[in-house]
Structure 1
Amino acid sequence: MARGERNIGATVRPITKLLAICLVAGVIVAGMAFPFVGGLGLVSNDASDTVNATSSDLAAGQLPSVTTVTDNQGAPIAYLYEQNRTPVPLQQMSPAMRGAIVAIEDRRFYEHDGVDWTGTLRALVTNQTAGSTQQGASTLTQQYIKNYQLYVTAQTESERLRATEPTYARKLREVRVALQLERELASGRSKREAKDEILERYLNIVFLGNNSYGVAAAARTYFNTTPDRLTIPQAAMLAGMVQSTTQFDPTRHPQAATGRRNEVINQMLGQGMITPQQAQEAAASPLGIVEPLATPPNGCIGAGNAAFFCKYVVDYLGETGISAEQLNRGGYTIRTTLDRNAMNMMQAALTSEVPPRQRNVADVMSTVQPGRDRHRVVAMGANRVFGVDGDAQETSYGLPWEPVNLGAGSTYKIFTAAAALEEGLGINYQMPIPPDGYASPIYRDGSGRPFPVRNSEPGVAPFMSMTDALAQSPNTGFVKLMEITGVPPVVDMAVKLGLRSLADPGPNGVSIADTAREQNQGSFTLGVTPTSTLELANVGATLASSGMWCPPTPIESITDASGAPVPLSEQPCEQVVDPALADTLMTGLSKDDQPGGTAYNAASANGWNRPLSGKTGTTQNNRSAAFVGFNTQYSGAVITFDDSSSPRTLCDGGGSSPPFPCSDGNLFGGTTPARTWFKAMNPLIAPLPVAPLPPTSPRYLQGGSNEQVPEVIGERVDEATEELRDAGFDVREVQVGNRAPAGTVVGQNPRGSVLPDEVITLQVSDGTVPAAPSPPSGPPPLAGGALNGAGG
């Protein structure tokens, strides 16, 4: 090329660049004066309306922030967030922080109206001359707009890319919105006040690396301090990271971070924000980053032994209409009902009975505080660690509140007793206890064939009061009692008192309760259905609240990010049974921890010496066992079970070693579950005043609309039949082998207090000596049958 041509080229290039600069500047000016639609991605055809709407959203919008879950004293137990951000007022940010960000990012911030025209034109000239982006021109107002679109409004990756695209169209949109935003915020107040609000919003939204959004989160993460205590070097480091959180990450690139920090310090000095001595001392100071970084754990997995409780809180709020997404973005403060003291005692009891890594054995517990207005969940836990490492026996499944498929055994006899009281029997009713191998017409195997019900302990008395039967738990007696009440009333009673999940429709739209009613499941009283530990504890709370059912709530209060109360749509409490029935039944359940009761050994070993209503339960083949115990202060339930995919029979270690899979099981409700309960509850209740059992009612002690059956054992059958019929009863005779003279009544069923119109069965001797019984044969009983009684 000739020298003249080169000179011409050298002359043309600056002119071309100057024309380009003028063109861009003209576009900006035109964009200020006229609607600009094409390429801006605005959702409205009217650009001005869209700018106004966007500006209003920026002025009033809420930033995604951390939800804090606390215990009942207000101490945090978990943090839930999508972005680790805790917005704070500008007054709670140190002057150093405010000065540092203005010094390095927008030195004319308090002078311009949202757009720094001097800086914008300078950046245009520099960038056009260099042929690449060498300088930025965004004000803090514009940066706030970009960050808001990136971290608040963008929901997809394409929207996030669009919020940061390096185009003049986006810049023009930011310019227009920035001008409108500042005008809107300045309406009715001073420019300084409007500027301070923009600065506050910016410092709360900006990303500062390592999952820290806003200066409050960054102050905690890097320095474990609060934003009002940020020093000059700390503030300068954070302000410097705005340019690049990767390049100036102090944990990975400390030298680069130090250099950038000192650059900010020099800017602060040059703008008269700090003295030379302050600048010298700040530049000489170490970064001072805490190790490890103080980032709050995200989610329930970081809640320690309260993790299961935390997960229940999230699930519970989801059912009331506050989704997990709302919790992760909404900045709520959730004060729960968790009692840390109760939780620690419970966790110690659970893991002392069954270590966390014990294979095949889960031990879970929930505790509820009774009340006629609320049932507060004070603690829930499991021996398992809340987590996702299955090899380490961790689980995120809701063990303490989700139904255990193996059932809760004879704890369900509570519902049969309650149904009998409601129908007219009394707690002193002398229950007939058919001998082992009793073939009840309502107890059938999986094929629908009648099969004998057996007791855990042979040779029980032929009659005992309902109170004694609840303590000793004979299966045959309660199956016989359910013949009187009918299956549906017992199922209904279980749902009313607290096992609400039994009424939830299954995959086919049919609930467990529906199936039990329709199939007339005599095994229901033996606790063969899936059972929630939390719901079982709430059954005790319902009875201890004089029959008032309330949802087991984990929420004490909830406020939004502004501190305003958030109403919850919790289910209302219901009076589900007569208060006198509930109070009397508590007395009827008061012998389980006494001599002869199935929980006596566990109670005495742990020094229990207070009135208590309780019931043990053990399922078929000892694959699970349960204990529920309650008074008017607390109600707790424990279920111990094989939590593997192929449950096996479990053996109890006697307290000296944990339960384990075995071939001949001896895990009962009175062993591991009861020991866990007394270990957890005794130290919790011991400091409290002794809570007596509630008063009983004659109606439910002796029965209401029931009648007394004349005692006819030992009489001649014709005389006995006539006496009973004269009293208004139908009579049925059954011949049995017996040494008594033929025709003598040797057995009567039922005896004592009975319901009206009940048929009285008389066992009449045939005068012969009975032969020894043959062992039963045939298919095994339904799960929860043979070994589901004593539970001791």
Structure 2
Amino acid sequence: QHHKDKQGGSTISQQLVKQVYIGTNAPADIQRKLKEAILAIELNREYSKSQILEMYLNTIFYGSQTYGIEAAARSYFQSNAHDLSLAQAAMLAGLPQAPTQYNPVVNFQSAKQRQAQVLAAMVGEKYITAAQAEAAYAVKLQVSPPITKFEAPYFVDYVLKTLAKPPYNINNSDNNRKGYRVYTSLDLNLQHMAEQVVREQIAQKGNYYNFHDAALVSMNPKTGEVLAMVGGDDYTRPGGQFNLAYDVPRPPGSSFKIFTYTAAIESRKVNMLSPVLDDPMVFPIGGDGPGFVSGFAKYVPLNYDRRFHGTLPLKMVMGNSLNIPALKVELRTGIPAVVDMASRLGLTCLGEPCGSKKPEDYGMSLTLGAYPVRLADMATAASTLATLGVRHREAPILNIKDGLGKDVFTYDPAKNEYRAVDPGVAFIIASIMSDDRNRCMSFGCHGDLTLAGRHVAAKTGTTNDFKDNWTVGFTPSLATAVWVGNPDNKPLSHNSTGIVGAAPIWHKFMTQALAGTPDQWYPVPTGLHQVGQDFFLPGTENLPKTLAQPWPQCKLPAKYNPYSLTYSQITVDGVYCIVNAPPPPPTPAPTPTPSPTVCSPPFDPQCKPHD
């Protein structure tokens, strides 16, 4: 191969120098460039071009935890490098530029496109003929998932991605070259427990309810340490390398209501006993309908059971996960306040692509969990509530030593925490989520959201299309979030909710993980006013019963364009109102289609009228 070939603006010799001697994270200054050039010259003096290329191919990263062409050949094709076919070799040759993007196990179509580019380049350089390239491209390759010889593969991938970010800035090649030793937060006992519970639930109930994958993240709330992470049922199956606990945000369904009610309590506009009327509502926009772009038709929210339950205290509408009251609480509180609360408690991604939305961009369906989030973030949010409002960022890495045993990084929980929400607010939400009586109407009593002999807070989530199934909960010492569903977005069957899919995993894992430890709960924070088993922020004991009244209505013009509605047209006193929209114009009667047996001008020679 011609030595003029470059990657990232450098010769192969310079790339090899960077990988082996300097490091890819070294500052891109003139001194580094000069050092690269000098070492590359020395390398070219000592070795032939073929030897340099061989060393380079035996050093670089090919994805799926493989370094070097021999390891890649064995991993992807169960073959030695010298036995690879042209089709196989061309596919592997395309990986180093973007090993994750072109990974044939995860993104086969992208890998095929890259393979075509490699084959075209080989034709251009006259290494092969066009006919050989076409024949190689037509080969139906059988790509093998990686053979994992390490435990907790999803967690390992997660740690490697974390290492590449600040404050560590250590990528795979650096770690391979400098011999870093990374000590993580993983508890192998809890990890094995989590993997087994996930496998058992899928094996026992997956076929009936049509869910074939699940993910789990468990954290120590007091430190932020990630104790267990299951990113899927089987890392080795095709496509199984996607970490559903971290890489793939999913709509959280009603589990998102945790943020709505926390923001509402903090706003002091409601308390845990505030009466909320569960009755029909019609919004002028926000729904889907014939003749409208999605989101511009009337929106008629419904509860899961398609029923209305009258006036209930706020703690019960949260516990029973009623949709209409949640929308009222959200709109009374303000959507931007709910978005802010979600961010403070732990969400780093809310909607896709992550970070693309402003608070004012979210619609009413926010509280119903329509915007995708990461499972790991939901575990972080549960951890924040579990510490009564002190947030710790995820901490999978505890210590890093270099090849000489010198500490490069040591995790300090005290430097990784901040007050996200008032302890009184967090305590009230924890009290609501831990009182089984608040959810008996919808979920039954003494179910999988409880732990025998323990105080525990929990909330399920189910998306309207039954594609995503969640349970999130915590004790003072352990916070766990579980997702159940299908990576291909197929819905679960039998109207499966979080209580039948995710909750059994959460319940079994939490029960086993906490076995042998004493029950724990929180002392009442200073400043809260207690009445029986209910708690109030100062000055919120006697609030106006605004949500017990019918929701304010507004009257739209007889003729209006839903695409140009202004906020003032759909609010009353600053509250997003419901509306009895004018009836749609009558649909004109369809023009009857002439019978094919009746002739009409221009005459068809083949037409023969009835006798």
Q: Same fold (TM over 0.5)?
A: yes
Distance across 2 between alignment mates of 1:501 and 1:701: 32
Partner-residue secondary structure (3-state), 1:629: strand
Q: In the alignment, what sits opposite 1:134?
A: none
Is 1:362 aligned with 2:213? yes
Distance across 2 between alignment mates of 1:408 and 1:591: 22
Distance across 1 between alignment mates of 2:551 and 2:249: 43
Higher helix fraction (1 or 2): 1
**1:126-145 → structure 2 map (5 Å cutoff):** none
Distance across 1 between alignment mates of 2:369 and 2:263: 15
**1:306-385 → structure 2 map (5 Å cutoff):** 306-320=152-166, 321-355=169-203, 361-371=212-222, 374-385=223-234
* Runs of 5+ consecutive residues of structure 1 not aligned to the other structure: 1-61, 65-151, 167-210, 214-245, 247-298, 652-664, 713-723, 735-756, 762-775, 779-792
Q: In the alignment, what sits opposite 2:524?
A: 695
* CA distance 1:439–1:679, change in 2 (3 Å): same
**1:604-619 → structure 2 map (5 Å cutoff):** 608-619=452-463
Partner-residue secondary structure (3-state), 2:298: coil
| Cα offset, 1:544, TM superposition | 0.8
Partner-residue secondary structure (3-state), 2:487: coil
Partner-residue secondary structure (3-state), 1:620: coil
**1:145-544 → structure 2 map (5 Å cutoff):** 162-165=45-48, 302=148, 304-320=150-166, 321-355=169-203, 361-371=212-222, 374-387=223-236, 389-390=237-238, 394-405=239-250, 407-435=251-279, 437-440=280-283, 443-445=286-288, 446-502=294-350, 506=354, 511-512=356-357, 514=358, 517-544=359-386
Distance across 2 between alignment mates of 1:572 and 1:619: 33
Is 1:591 aligned with 2:435? yes
| Cα offset, 1:682, TM superposition | 0.5
| Cα offset, 1:625, TM superposition | 1.1
Distance across 1 between alignment mates of 2:164 and 2:411: 11
* CA distance 1:639–1:352, change in 2 (3 Å): same
Partner-residue secondary structure (3-state), 1:617: strand
Is 1:550 aligned with 2:392? yes
**How many aligned positions are there?**
425
Q: Deviations over 1:731-783 (max 9, x none)?
A: 9799xxxxxxxxxxxxxxxxxxxxxx999x9xxxxxxxxxxxxxx999xxxxx
**1:3-42 → structure 2 map (5 Å cutoff):** none
Greater shift in the superposed pair: 351-360 or 486-495: 351-360
| Cα offset, 1:531, TM superposition | 1.5
Q: In the alignment, what sits opposite 1:666?
A: 495
Q: Deviations over 1:633-652 (max 9, x none)?
A: 100001112211xx22212x
For the 8 Å contact 1:551–1:573, the answer to whether it is kept is yes
Distance across 2 between alignment mates of 1:499 and 1:564: 34
Q: In the alignment, what sits opposite 2:118?
A: none
TM-score (norm 1): 0.48
For the 8 Å contact 2:159–2:396, the answer to whether it is kept is yes
Distance across 2 between alignment mates of 1:347 and 1:410: 25
Q: Deviations over 1:172-217 (max 9, x none)?
A: xxxxxxxxxxxxxxxxxxxxxxxxxxxxxxxxxxxxxxx999xxxx
* CA distance 1:731–1:547, change in 2 (3 Å): closer
* CA distance 1:608–1:427, change in 2 (3 Å): farther
* CA distance 1:442–1:499, change in 2 (3 Å): farther
| Cα offset, 1:558, TM superposition | 1.1
| Cα offset, 1:549, TM superposition | 1.3
| Cα offset, 1:408, TM superposition | 1.1
Partner-residue secondary structure (3-state), 2:434: coil
Q: AA paired with 1:415?
A: F
For the 8 Å contact 1:367–1:377, the answer to whether it is kept is yes
* CA distance 1:360–1:503, change in 2 (3 Å): closer
* CA distance 1:155–1:473, change in 2 (3 Å): farther
Partner-residue secondary structure (3-state), 1:553: coil
Q: In the alignment, what sits opposite 1:685?
A: 514
Partner-residue secondary structure (3-state), 2:408: coil
| Cα offset, 1:303, TM superposition | 5.2
Partner-residue secondary structure (3-state), 1:616: strand
Q: AA paired with 1:673?
A: A
For the 8 Å contact 2:284–2:297, the answer to whether it is kept is no
Q: Deviations over 1:496-526 (max 9, x none)?
A: 10111238975xxx624x1xx3245110000
Distance across 2 between alignment mates of 1:360 and 1:693: 36
Distance across 1 between alignment mates of 2:298 and 2:67: 67
Is 1:708 aligned with 2:542? yes
Distance across 1 between alignment mates of 2:248 and 2:67: 39
* CA distance 1:596–1:520, change in 2 (3 Å): same
* CA distance 1:386–1:731, change in 2 (3 Å): closer
Distance across 1 between alignment mates of 2:448 and 2:416: 39
Partner-residue secondary structure (3-state), 1:348: helix
For the 8 Å contact 2:386–2:474, the answer to whether it is kept is yes
| Cα offset, 1:154, TM superposition | 11
Distance across 1 between alignment mates of 2:328 and 2:361: 17
Q: AA paired with 2:246?
A: W
| Cα offset, 1:354, TM superposition | 1.2
Greater shift in the superposed pair: 703-712 or 301-310: 703-712
* CA distance 1:541–1:375, change in 2 (3 Å): same
* CA distance 1:341–1:493, change in 2 (3 Å): same
Q: In the alignment, what sits opposite 1:128?
A: none
**Cα RMSD after superposing both structures:** 4.4
**1:54-69 → structure 2 map (5 Å cutoff):** none
**1:714-733 → structure 2 map (5 Å cutoff):** none
Partner-residue secondary structure (3-state), 1:677: helix
Q: In the alignment, what sits opposite 1:273?
A: none
Partner-residue secondary structure (3-state), 1:454: coil
Distance across 2 between alignment mates of 1:685 and 1:304: 26
| Cα offset, 1:360, TM superposition | 6.1
Distance across 2 between alignment mates of 1:637 and 1:649: 20
Q: AA paired with 1:454?
A: L
Partner-residue secondary structure (3-state), 1:319: coil
Q: Deviations over 1:393-446 (max 9, x none)?
A: x521121112433x11001111110111111045423241332x4224675442
For the 8 Å contact 1:444–1:451, the answer to whether it is kept is yes
* CA distance 1:707–1:586, change in 2 (3 Å): closer
| Cα offset, 1:601, TM superposition | 6.8
Q: Deviations over 1:232-291 (max 9, x none)?
A: xxxxxxxxxxxxxx9xxxxxxxxxxxxxxxxxxxxxxxxxxxxxxxxxxxxxxxxxxxxx
- Percent identical pairs in the alignment equals 25
* Runs of 5+ consecutive residues of structure 2 not aligned to the other structure: 1-18, 22-34, 50-65, 69-81, 83-144, 289-293, 555-572, 578-582, 586-611
